[in-house]
Structure formats: C-alpha cells, structure tokens
C-alpha cells in the first residue's frame, strides 16, 4: 500500500514549549484518515508542517514522497487544504476568493472548473457574489471548503473543516468527502475533535496527545479494544451467573435496569446466557470512537498541550509584529 504521508520522530518547538514531541504518523493512498485530538494537542502544527508553512525542529516528514519544506511549491499543485483559521480578503467576493485560491494552486479556470464551482456553491447554499466582509463565520468556512473541494487534488489536508457549519452543511461536507475518495481515489487527512464526524468518514484514525500519537488503526480494530454496553430490565432476573463471567465488567443495577460492559470480541458468548435468563428490554450499544477517545483524554488536556498551542500563537504574533515594525 502506497504511503502518502509519513512522519518519523517529528518535533516542533516554540521556544521552551514542545508542540510536537516525536510524532509518528502514516497515511495510506486512497484512505480517509481521521486525525483526532482536542485543541492544543498538536494537530494544526502537524498540518502546517505537512503544508510547508512551518519547519520541523527535528525528525522527518514526507508528503507524496517529497519534503514539504523544500518542495512546497510543487506539492501545493498536488495538495488541497482547508486551514484551521479561515480569513478572507474583505473586498473580494467569495467567488473571486475561490478563483484566486484555485489559481494559486495551479488550477485552470476552464468550463469544467466553473461547473464544479457552481455545483459546490449550490449544494453548500453559498452566495459567491457577496463581499468577504459581509460573510458570517459559517460562510467564510464555506469559501475555504469550496476552494479546497473544487480543486482536483491527490491529497486533501482538512483542519477542522466543519467549524462554523450547521448540521445540514456538515452532512453535505460528509457526502462530498466520500465522493472524492470513492470517485477520484483521493487521500484525505481529516483533523478534527468532533468524534461523530470522524466516525462517519474515517477508514483509519490516529489519536494525538501532547504532540505524539497515542493510539491508531482501523475503526474495527480499535473497537475490539473497547467494550460493548449491554443493559436489560431487572424484573427479578438473577444476575449472579453474569458476575462470574470473565467477559462481563462493571455490572450495576440502576433505575430498574441491569447494565454492564462486555468485551466486544466476546459478546457472542454472553448473549446466549441472557437468552436463557429470559431478560426483557435488551439493549446492546456497540463501542464508539468516543469511548476510545476518552480512554486517552478522560482526565484533562495536559498543560503542555495547551501551552504548545499558545506557543505557536505567540510565535505567529511575534512574526507579524516584526513584519509591521510593531
């Protein structure tokens, strides 16, 4: 399987703050890869390095077999992206902004391009004739999304792409990303802290914490590491037999219902016993990505991770001040 993105022991420091601390990430050709972590975990820093917008302090990173820092110009003709913070030119219309961003990526504004742009504007319910200063946060996000999706790219790097969108537009986004993967064979790295979004789309996920990958794999494989929640009405059922099973964990009786967790790969061993007990109102809830996520983030985001995000923001502000002479 071809590797489209690969990082090895990737580090990025902002002064004394570690934004990335030995990140090892691998994304395969044609897959939708979920990159999960809360704000401050290092997701945006990683994507900035992959786009050649920031230079790693140490370690290695390749995108489509090229170095993103030294080969940024070539890569930007093959890669499309949505940034974490969307800012657009206030005096350009949304349509003009989309065209400008597309031309910067090397796209030709031919008939096919215009048809794709019109279709995306319609399905995202977007008016491209308004000036940028008139757009809400959601409409600014649509500008970035349409500009990214209208481009015929090999790789899409999407940083919190549905930020500011309503649920209807989120559904449109989900359909479009699936279409890119299915029809065009494109590879997608989707950075997000929205678990349901990633669960709907991703073939594989990587969970980042404090600048390093702490878990990853296919959703099916990861679910085997979690537990299925089973519950049923108490109704005087003798549950002692269940408590002796090694597959059953944390059995409780609350509000007239028996609840417990069962090892997901051994649920089939538990269900026949429940049938023999004659339980009523049986509910089986498969493990979710949220459960896996909470295993790594059930406490709090570490101060180091939060500081890393603050460190990058401070670094950007310092560079901006230097350019303006402030």
C-alpha count within 13 angstroms, C-beta hemisphere, residue 102: 23
CA dihedral 98, 100, 102, 106 (to 10 degrees): 180
Q: Could you say which DSSP state residue 247 is in?
A: T
* Alpha-carbon gap, residue 259 to 282, rounded angstroms: 10
Query: Helices (DSSP H) in 210-302: which residue ranges?
Result: 219-223, 240-243, 267-277, 289-297
Q: pLDDT per residue over 59-113, tens digit each?
A: 999 999 999 999 999 999 999 999 988 999 999 999 999 999 999 888 889 999 9
Which pLDDT belongs to residue 311?
A: 47
Question: Cα dist. 158→163, 192, 249, 324 in Å?
Answer: 11, 9, 38, 30
257 torsion bin: left (phi>0), alpha (psi -120 to 50), beta (else): beta
Cβ-contact 20, 61 below 8 angstroms: no
Q: Which residues of the chain have pLDDT under 50?
A: 301-326
* Alpha-carbon gap, residue 241 to 52, rounded angstroms: 59
Which pLDDT belongs to residue 79?
A: 96
Which pLDDT belongs to residue 305?
A: 40
C-alpha count within 13 angstroms, C-beta hemisphere, residue 87: 1
Q: pLDDT per residue over 125-154, tens digit each?
A: 999 999 999 999 999 999 999 999 998 999
Which pLDDT belongs to residue 256?
A: 87
Which pLDDT belongs to residue 279?
A: 87
DSSP per-residue codes, 166-229? -HHHHHHHHHHHHHHHHHH--EEEEEES-HHHHHHH-SEEEEEETTEEEEEEEHHHHHTTSEEE
CA dihedral 16, 7, 150, 30 (to 10 degrees): -150
Cβ-contact 19, 311 below 8 angstroms: yes
């Amino acid at each position: 399987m071809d590797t489209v993105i690969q990082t090895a022991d990737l580090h990025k420091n902002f002064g004394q703050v570690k934004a990335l601390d030995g990140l090892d990430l691998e994304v395969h050709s044609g897959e939708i890869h979920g990159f999960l972590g809360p704000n401050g975990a290092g997701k945006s820093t990683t994507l900035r390095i992959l786009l050649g917008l920031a230079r790693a302090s140490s370690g290695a990173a390749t995108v489509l077999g090229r170095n993103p820092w030294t080969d940024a110009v070539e890569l930007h003709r093959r890669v499309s992206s949505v940034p974490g913070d969307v800012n657009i030119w206030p005096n350009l219309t949304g349509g003009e902004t989309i065209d400008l961003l597309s031309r910067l990526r090397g796209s030709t504004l031919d008939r096919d391009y215009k048809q794709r742009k019109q279709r995306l504007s319609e399905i995202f319910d977007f008016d491209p004739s308004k000036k940028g200063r008139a757009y809400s946060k959601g409409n600014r996000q649509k500008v970035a999304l349409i500009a990214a999706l209208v481009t015929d790219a090999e790789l899409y790097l999407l940083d919190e792409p549905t930020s500011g969108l309503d649920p209807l537009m989120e559904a449109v986004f989900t359909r479009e990303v699936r279409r890119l993967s299915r029809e065009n064979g494109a590879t997608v790295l989707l950075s997000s802290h929205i678990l349901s979004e990633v669960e709907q789309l991703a073939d594989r996920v990587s969970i980042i914490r404090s600048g390093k990958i702490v878990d990853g794999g296919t959703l099916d494989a990861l679910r085997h590491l979690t537990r299925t929640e089973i519950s049923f009405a108490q109704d005087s059922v003798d549950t002692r037999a269940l408590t002796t099973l090694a597959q059953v964990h944390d059995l409780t009786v609350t509000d007239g219902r028996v609840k417990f967790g069962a090892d997901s790969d051994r649920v089939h061993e538990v269900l026949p016993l429940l049938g023999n007990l004659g339980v009523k109102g049986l509910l089986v809830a498969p493990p979710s990505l949220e459960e896996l996520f909470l295993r790594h983030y059930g406490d709090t985001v570490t101060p180091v991770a939060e500081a890393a995000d603050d460190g990058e923001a401070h670094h950007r502000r310092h560079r901006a001040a230097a350019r303006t002479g402030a």
